[in-house]
A and B are shown apart, each in its own frame.
Chain A
Amino acid sequence: MSAVDRARDAIDRLVDASASERILISTAALVLSVLIGAVLVLVAGRMTTCTAGEAVYYFGTGFCYDPVVVFDRLFLGALGDPFSGNWSPNGQFAVTLRETTVLIFTGLSVALAFRAGIFNIGTQGQMVVGALATALGVLWASSLVSGALGTVVLIPFGLLVGGVFGGLYGAVPGLLKAYADANEVITTIMLNFIATGIALYLVSGVFKDPESAANQTVPLPEFAQFPALLFGARQDFSIVALGFGLLALAALYYVLEHTSFGYDVRTSGVQPEAAEYGGVDAKRTVIASLTLSGALGGIAGAMYVMMILGTFQTGIPSYGFDGITVSILAGNNPLGVGIAALLFGVLKSGTTVVQFATDVPPQLVGVLRGLIILFVAMPEFFRLAARRVPGAGSRPEAVATDGGSATDRGGETDE
């Protein structure tokens, strides 16, 4: 009983943690995961063979891998070595920001749906649809304008097309949930496959670039892609795109916290019965939030096409699924998504740096990455899960109310 009690207390404290406490918890989790990761690197380094010259020595023992180097490359390397004196905007830091930009949009997509109480696993599919629509739309429109004017017109146009088509694709599970009571987890997963399949069919057939062996569309003209300002073009990163990302963060935050629609969404997310009582139209809110969520996923696809690839190619990396982790990491808070996307971006780009700089096998780097995400995300994950368990959080409430609810909450034999 007492062990169970302690566990419950811990969960309750987690659920009730304030924003600053949560940041502290995340930081502590990050440090802890690095320490455990360091031990793993040492152990793995002990089990491999290397020459004495390559080995590092701790506590009088030789190890083949040096955890200090590994984590130095993973983090500082991803930031382009800001302390080394030869930091360059064309370096690894641009890669980190590129990944961050796309993850901001997929993260926001998942976060918005989550806030409405909907688990949108379909961001990946919405991203694919948005990316394909953007590529085709911009290709078509690029024959009408060109040059600097083309950039100014086509980039917003591309984002709009991506958003609209991603949004329409997101509306499908929304409609299914609202009018046919279909579980969104299942429908969105299935729609992911459908999106990938249709994209493959179209891009390997009618829309295929005849010049290319890969399944891809004709490349977009240079002026229809995000311009490389401040940062060099080598890393496919554009500060303009990141600017759009930050704008989206702020806009979604504003919508959720300061508009009637946002209030409806948040209320439906935490307590649908109360939302219904307060005059929230559940069907409309479900459809609207999934459409908006899909639109954000679609814009992520547009970013991928217009900033990174310059064309649509099948096999889009799993930014949409990473968005789920980013969102959980951020506690589904739009502003938190920025930080979580940056951490994720660092880990993604740092991984390649570690592989260049050390002999550590990529699998081990994957484990380190996984550990960090697991540790940082777990407290938030427990918070989310525990809030769905009746009676978790705010123990005082169980005491403060009498009668029905108190026995419901207090009685372990209940339910």
Chain B
Amino acid sequence: MASAVHLDGITKRFPGVVANDDVDLEVERGTVHALLGENGAGKTTLMNVLYGLYEPTSGEVRIDGEPHAFDSPRDAIDVGIGMIHQHFMLVDPMTVTENITLGNEPRKWGGLAVDRAAAREAVVELADRYGFDVDPDARIEDVSVGEQQRVEILKALYRGADTLILDEPTAVLTPQEVEELFDVLDELTAQGKTIIFITHKLGEAMRAADEISVLRDGRKVGTVDAADTSQEALAELMVGREVLLDVDHGTAETGDVVASVSDVVVEDDRGVRAVNDVSFEVRCGEVFGIAGVDGNGQSELIEAVTGLRTPDAGEIRFRGEDVAATSRRERIDAGMAYIPEDRQERGLVMDFDLVENGLLGSQHGPELAANGRIDWSKARSHAESIIDEYDVRPPDADAGSKSLSGGNQQKFIVGREFERDPELVVASHPTRGVDIGSIEFIHERLLELRQQGVAILLVSSKLEEVQGLSDRLAVVYEGEFIDVVDPDETSEEELGLLMAGERPGDGDGDGGGPEATERTDGDETDGDTPANPTGSTDAADGERA
């Protein structure tokens, strides 16, 4: 029998870059195939070729043995290929049923009207067939992220997909939701569907896939059976050398409080409370971690600390001074380094070269720009020393920052911020979208700074990262700190529950979707501000010391 998907010698060239170089990929029907690789390895490009978004420079796409040339995703969908993007393509104010049937609604009255009853029935039937837990009448904005993802999958199935491509499906999920997703994948393959999922997380590939193909620099370096491999072997395939997966955490002497946040309230751009009455402090030589699913107020909290956003209430002290009202520049000058969560939007000026980017934040400083005049030769040697010390590739200070891969962009930012000789480092998702080799490196540097007595505030949605690096770990849920724990004494399971809003001592540790229950409760009490910290506050007040 022919493979469900057979990519034969796919090469995709962009001006100046070969994104995929003669890649062969065979995926058997009814299996889960993981596509593993570092950033820039060409995973997404390859899948965009399969989904008809890109035309391959050479090579052939065969579906069930038949060669196909796709002009657009429409053609790919017609032969049963569906893609679930990392960022969901759902219409928030519309219901689950409407979203699933959008564009292919059952019609009545000779095609003049949508047959809502038939649509709902089709969705219920589909969900039942695959054992999906979705409410066909709920609005997308009211359901959990995990459920939104299931809706995306149903949408693809409704359009007749036999092969589903999932692009980094776990990036936005809690550990429990990840498990639920893997159960869903099992059910789908049991019914003969084929799954390809893109990831750079080794554990997930091992856990969920039957076979794993590893891409490196646009080439396929191997396909292995998930049962016959180890994380170490996969990491070595991905990076091309041996990698240390565990960081030696060690201990450091903690000292004075460097930064403290008390009773801070921050509103987001829509005027909704994103951070609700949060207090904590960070000491010299300590990593204070904040764990949580993305979108629970971490970004707003960090922006308030670093001066990009004005808090609506509360006090932010840095080295003893209240800085809540001071400008971003004053905070930089006072010794606050900041690795922003979005390197391409904030951390780097994409149109500038590395010399110019090395100056970002220091353009008024006395070292590189005394008296308002920029000393370009000093700026150049500054950039070159960052490139050298932080192994930024290609090692060319004149390279435009957009020509660098994500990992190298991040290394440059990390280098620039660490070289400020900071008192406090605010690191927001410092390794997001970064390959394993660079992750290892960034972690080592962070711990090195801690050893030198720098205070570090770390936010990450990667549990193993915050857990592995932090000395104290706060878990944030809907704008509040659910708990502050010792990461070494807390299991991943327990953290996962906290991240889903389960308060310590709530007793019932039911893993079956606490997130979803919590959200639904919230919306009953307050329909105007879905996905916001109203639902849990009643519970919270009793809890708060």
Contacts and interface: CB of A to CB of B under 8 A. Distances in A.
A211 interface: no
Top 4 nearest A-B pairs (CB, nearest first) are A279-B329, A401-B406, A402-B39, A396-B17
Contacts of A407: 44, 85-87, 167-168
A276 B328 contact: yes
A13 to B, nearest CB: 7
Interface string B324-338: 000111011100001
B314 to A, nearest CB: 21
Given A407-B87, A412-B53, A1 B71 contact: yes
22 contacts: A1-B55, A12-B15, A260-B363, A260-B369, A264-B363, A273-B345, A274-B347, A277-B346, A277-B360, A279-B329, A281-B327, A396-B17, A397-B403, A398-B14, A402-B200, A402-B433, A403-B168, A405-B433, A407-B167, A411-B85, A413-B89, A414-B87
Interface string A187-205: 0000000000000000000
B376 A258 contact: yes
Contacts of B356: 263
Nearest to A15: B351
A173 to B, nearest CB: 23
Given A279-B364, A407-B44, A274 B346 contact: yes
A183 interface: no
Given A274-B346, A396-B14, A401 B373 contact: no
B346 A260 contact: no
Contact of A260 (B53, B347, B364): B364
Interface in A166-213: none
Contact of B328 (A258, A279, A400, A412): A279
Interface string A261-290: 111100100110111111111000000000
B512 to A, nearest CB: 29
Given A258-B376, A281-B327, A404 B53 contact: no
A46 interface: no
A262 B359 CA distance: 13
B349 A270 contact: yes
Contact of B406 (A13, A259, A402, A414): A402
A277 B413 CA distance: 12
B433 A5 contact: no
B405 interface: yes
B363 A263 contact: yes
A15 to B, nearest CB: 10
A264 B327 CA distance: 15
Given A2-B71, A267-B360, A401-B406, 14 more contacts: A264-B363, A270-B349, A275-B349, A276-B328, A277-B360, A278-B361, A279-B331, A394-B400, A400-B17, A400-B403, A402-B41, A403-B171, A404-B87, A413-B89
Contacts of B402: 393-394, 397
A216 B373 CA distance: 44
Interface residues of A, number: 47
B280 interface: no
A322 interface: no
B359 A263 contact: yes
B382 interface: no
B73 A410 contact: no
A414 B360 CA distance: 31
A226 to B, nearest CB: 32
Nearest to A394: B402
B226 to A, nearest CB: 21
A279 B333 CA distance: 9
Interface in B57-101: 71-73, 85-87, 89
A259 B373 contact: yes
A261 B308 CA distance: 20
Q: Which of A12, A13, A399, A405 has the most CB of B within 10 A?
A: A399
A9 interface: yes
Interface of B: 14-17, 19, 37-45, 48, 53-55, 71-73, 85-87, 89, 167-168, 171, 200, 308, 327-329, 331-333, 338, 340, 342, 344-352, 356, 359-361, 363-364, 369, 372-374, 376, 400, 402-406, 409, 432-433
Given A267-B360, A276-B328, A400 B89 contact: no
A393 B333 CA distance: 34
B340 A400 contact: no
A347 B520 CA distance: 69
A261 B372 CA distance: 7
Contacts of B340: 277
A406 interface: yes
Contacts of A394: 400, 402-403
B39 A278 contact: no
B349 A276 contact: no
A411 B374 CA distance: 40
Contact of A258 (B71, B373, B404, B432): B373
A22 interface: no
B73 A399 contact: no
Contacts of B17: 395-396, 399-400
B15 A259 contact: no
B364 A399 contact: no
Contacts of A277: 308, 328, 338, 340, 346-347, 360-361
A403 B71 contact: no
A72 interface: no
B348 A413 contact: no
A112 B189 CA distance: 60
A375 to B, nearest CB: 25
A2 B71 CA distance: 8
Given A271-B349, A394-B402, A410 B48 contact: yes
Interface in A1-39: 1-2, 5, 9, 12-13
B124 to A, nearest CB: 26
A81 interface: no
Contact of A413 (B15, B73, B342): B73
Given A2-B55, A399-B17, A411-B53, A259 B372 contact: yes
Nearest to B39: A402
A9 B432 CA distance: 29
B72 to A, nearest CB: 6
B358 to A, nearest CB: 11
Given A263-B359, A276-B308, A407-B87, A399 B42 contact: yes
B53 A5 contact: no
B45 A410 contact: yes
Given A9-B15, A277-B340, A277-B361, A414 B89 contact: yes
Nearest to B75: A1
Given A1-B72, A274-B360, A407-B87, A402 B349 contact: no
B345 A401 contact: no
A130 to B, nearest CB: 26
B327 A399 contact: no
A395 B53 CA distance: 14
Contacts of A275: 349
A277 B339 CA distance: 10
Contacts of A399: 14, 17, 19, 40, 42, 44-45
A95 B16 CA distance: 47
Contact of B87 (A270, A271, A408): A408
Contact of A400 (B37, B40, B86, B329): B40
A278 to B, nearest CB: 4
Contact of A396 (B16, B327, B331, B332): B16
A401 B168 CA distance: 13
A410 B53 contact: yes
B520 to A, nearest CB: 28
Contacts of A1: 55, 71-72
Given A260-B374, A274-B347, A396-B17, A403 B86 contact: yes
A167 B132 CA distance: 65
A267 B376 CA distance: 16
Given A258-B374, A279-B361, A406 B44 contact: yes
Interface string A339-357: 0000000000000000000
Interface in A358-409: 387, 393-408
